[in-house]
A and B are shown apart, each in its own frame.
Chain A
């Protein structure tokens, strides 16, 4: 592999690191009771979101999941606005009305996180009809977990995308667990990519812990979509460092599993080792990015904590465009 663009590498690292620290900080904030609700953290899966979204512009559209913070950040959503949303503040990205599971930013081509498993793929499929008709070569991507690949909505969306030859990519992140149940149990064929091929589209399986593998796997799918050849699927095996939701005691995981994954399958460490070994980036620039990211996260938390909650008048606004 020839040396990738330094700026792009730094940007990828910065995005992955931002997601990581955003989530690790949320974990602490939630444990201290600072944040309400039902939060699903993306830590451990950063290489997937960033490896995929590094191929996309603001005009390419994504549909995300309940575990959507990583997708939002990788697609360019404002960190402070996201933090404020998760804190339920009036100037959060969705005015505090959506929360962690419902962050959207249409200016960035982020069609929304989704608290219904399997809710996103049909939406991305429909959005691909729009980008196809617009004829500007823009594509759509749906993210889904291994759990979502068992939903009928996803099957229907995949078939429709093939039938209509739509410029969309189905990304499946297999982090090992559908909520509290193992992928090996819940996915009968134990082969998500193979299932996608059954619908008549090419599907690759990559190591989702490795940014470069995801990036390369995605390149082909995006090129195919942009050139009007139809949908593809990408299965990324990865891991999550936290529970299904914050507060999940994770009794279904063997003792030490998470620690082992953190030691051996940390996509940030894998990325860092690779760029240092190849001499693509140096340690100093990585540490400089680390410091900047920490500062940004600190600022986001600080601003979110200081921000005002929505006024009660907001309760019944935004239900309709007109009524």
Chain B
């Protein structure tokens, strides 16, 4: 043997032994022992056994005392097979490193804590031999919905309560929900009344068209808003198609002499649609300024009664809220409303190649009593070309 000092380490008895407790030394320190002599009684969770001397020599150091629990491979004592000094023994003990593996079970790498202990013992697996048999998901759902499992009959495997059973029980027992009632504001009442009437009285139909906004975006600046350009394009199209700027009466179609457009605005109190007058006469910057001023007043609840008059047409733009296309309800007595979606970079095939273009979908709701589909379509065609010539 290379060294005259030999470590006595906790042996590995049994396949899974990981540690042992010293229950006693059978020899005194300094005893002469022969290979095979019984040295230390060690207890594991399965047995008590005796460690035998691995080599002949003198037990020069006893390290582990009675009752001490050590891992497999850790130092219990030292046997000297030749003459050594105390200093050499101390050095040996200080420098001793247990083999890197007590082996046995390769337990979870870096097992710092027992996860099982941290877990809520909950209504889990183990307890499920109790009276009610229920799938774990159903149990969770019942807790969420406040369903008493004792009242649920199971239709799952072997009569077990399934998720579906709990849902059914919840639906059956659901008391009519006491909804919290908030009184209607006058604006809400007005919106409700007018739109119900509009939907009932006006035979709506809807057309949509996608327009190229490249030009509009080029023109966009700090003083020119895209929405103002939309309003402007609509105004010009209305000039060309006066039918859309007239409205139905029992006597006949009433044409509007000026191009006045309501602009739908979202406020905290609800939807309002103040009027921009003679839009076709304004330039883009003026229109931008006017509509900004109007929107500010609308949100500040500072609109005058005159601002809320009905024009000949309405534009509603939900593009800023990410809506790509939608249909709007006509505000009587008007004939049309244009629902404007978001401008999106979209691949367009043109001349056999693909290019990204900013496209926008607009949807016209029109009153069939006033205007037929083809006429409305031509209005949209004009609108589209207006965007190209901005």
Report the bound CA distance from A37 to B2 in whole Å. Answer: 26
Contact with A along B21-40 (1 / 0, CB 8 A): 00000000000000010000
In the bound complex, residues from chain B placing their C-beta under 8 Å from that of A33 are 9, 12, 72-73, 98-103
List CB contacts (< 8 Å) of A264-311 with chain B: 298
Please state if A28 and B72 are interface contacts (CB–CB under 8 Å). Answer: no
Please state if B14 and A249 are interface contacts (CB–CB under 8 Å). Answer: yes
Q: Which of chain B's residues has its CB closest to A246's CB? A: B12
A251-B47 in contact given A32-B73, A259-B36 (Cβ < 8 Å): yes
Interface membership of A160, Cβ < 8 A = no
In the bound complex, residues from chain A placing their C-beta under 8 Å from that of B132 are none
Report the bound CA distance from A27 to B55 in whole Å. Answer: 12
List CB contacts (< 8 Å) of A232-262 with chain B: 245-249, 251, 259, 262
Contact with A along B59-101 (1 / 0, CB 8 A): 0000000000000110000000000000000000000001111
Name B54's contact: one of A31, A34, A248 (CB within 8 Å).
A31
Report the bound CA distance from A145 to B7 in whole Å. Answer: 34
Interface membership of A38, Cβ < 8 A = yes
Q: Report the minimal beta-carbon distance from A240 to chain B, rounded to whole angstroms.
A: 15
In the bound complex, residues from chain A placing their C-beta under 8 Å from that of B15 are 38, 245, 247
In the bound complex, residues from chain A placing their C-beta under 8 Å from that of B103 are 33, 35-37
Interface membership of B214, Cβ < 8 A = no
Interface membership of A30, Cβ < 8 A = yes
In the bound complex, residues from chain B placing their C-beta under 8 Å from that of A246 are 12
Contact with A along B97-139 (1 / 0, CB 8 A): 0111111000000000000000000000000000000000000
Q: How many residues of B contact A (CB 8 A)?
A: 21
Interface of B is mostly: loop
Please state if A36 and B101 are interface contacts (CB–CB under 8 Å). Answer: yes
Interface membership of B13, Cβ < 8 A = yes
Please state if A32 and B9 are interface contacts (CB–CB under 8 Å). Answer: yes
In the bound complex, residues from chain A placing their C-beta under 8 Å from that of B7 are 32
Please state if B73 and A247 are interface contacts (CB–CB under 8 Å). Answer: no
Interface membership of B57, Cβ < 8 A = no
Name A249's contact: one of B2, B47, B100 (CB within 8 Å).
B47
Residue of A33, A35, A245 with most partner-chain B CB within 10 A: A33
Please state if B14 and A34 are interface contacts (CB–CB under 8 Å). Answer: no
Interface of A is mostly: loop
Q: Report the minimal beta-carbon distance from A96 to chain B, rounded to whole angstroms.
A: 15
Q: Report the minimal beta-carbon distance from B130 to chain A, rounded to whole angstroms.
A: 41
Q: Report the minimal beta-carbon distance from A308 to chain B, rounded to whole angstroms.
A: 14
Q: Report the minimal beta-carbon distance from A207 to chain B, rounded to whole angstroms.
A: 24
Report the bound CA distance from A28 to B52 in whole Å. Answer: 11
Q: Which of chain B's residues has its CB closest to A262's CB? A: B36
Report the bound CA distance from A54 to B9 in whole Å. Answer: 38
Q: Which of chain B's residues has its CB closest to A27's CB? A: B54
Report the bound CA distance from A249 to B36 in whole Å. Answer: 15
Q: Report the minimal beta-carbon distance from A299 to chain B, rounded to whole angstroms.
A: 11
Interface membership of B311, Cβ < 8 A = no
Name B17's contact: one of A27, A28, A245, A247 (CB within 8 Å).
A247
Interface membership of B49, Cβ < 8 A = yes
List CB contacts (< 8 Å) of A75-120 with chain B: none
Q: Report the minimal beta-carbon distance from B18 to chain A, rounded to whole angstroms.
A: 10
Please state if A247 and B13 are interface contacts (CB–CB under 8 Å). Answer: yes
Q: Which of chain B's residues has its CB closest to A30's CB? A: B12
Interface membership of B11, Cβ < 8 A = yes
Q: 22 A-B contacts, Cβ less than 8 Å apart?
A: A30-B12, A31-B9, A31-B54, A32-B9, A32-B98, A33-B9, A33-B72, A33-B98, A33-B103, A34-B99, A35-B103, A36-B103, A37-B103, A38-B15, A246-B12, A247-B11, A247-B12, A247-B14, A248-B13, A249-B13, A249-B14, A298-B2
Q: What are the 9 closest A-B residue pairs judged by CB atoms, nearest first?
A: A33-B73, A33-B99, A36-B103, A31-B11, A34-B99, A247-B12, A249-B13, A32-B9, A249-B49
Known: A33-B72, A247-B15. 12 other contacts (CB 8 A): A27-B54, A30-B12, A31-B11, A32-B7, A32-B9, A32-B98, A36-B103, A37-B103, A38-B15, A246-B12, A249-B13, A262-B36
Contacts from A to B (Cβ < 8 Å): 27-28, 30-38, 245-249, 251, 259, 262, 298
